[in-house]
Amino acid sequence: MSAERASTSKANLLTKTKITMKTNIPVAKRKPQNEPVTDPKLAEELAMAVATELNDTDNLLTYQQYCLRFPEEVIKRALNAALTVPPERVKRSRLALFIYLLKKYAREAK
């Protein structure tokens, strides 16, 4: 058997194994990592936490809308990133920065 043929069959075996492993996992047991927050109560609590951290409770409804659209992990990541930016580097507002980062991280998560 030639080296090229052996490596090709080995690559095919690995590919088949990966596909088999993915399809053998039941759908119900998979954890949806990129699912938005669907519980309105949880979204409200998360929005309040974000608004409090950013000292911007006037825009609570805006935060709630974003919390219903994006996964919790992405929201927390964007919040942490927005809070770490020094005040002199924030051009418009922390809300604008948070929304920008939220959309950016959501695109990266897909």
Tokens at residue 70, please? Answer: 């994006």
Q: What is the CA radius of gyration of the chain?
A: 21
Mean pLDDT, the chain, whole residue set: 76
Percent of the chain with pLDDT over 70: 69
What is the sign of the dihedral through the CA atoms of 67, 52, 95 and 85? negative
Tokens at residue 90, please? Answer: 């924030």
85 pLDDT tier (thresholds 50, 70, 90)? very high
Whether residue 99 has pLDDT greater than 50 = yes
Whether residue 52 has pLDDT greater than 90 = yes
Give the pLDDT score at 38: 73
DSSP 36: P
With the CA atoms of 26, 32, 33 and 37 taken in that order, what torsion angle do they form, in degrees rounded to the nearest 10? -170
Whether residue 1 has pLDDT greater than 70 = no
Indicate yes or no: pTM above 0.75. Answer: no
Q: Residue ranges per domain, the chain? A: 1-30, 40-109
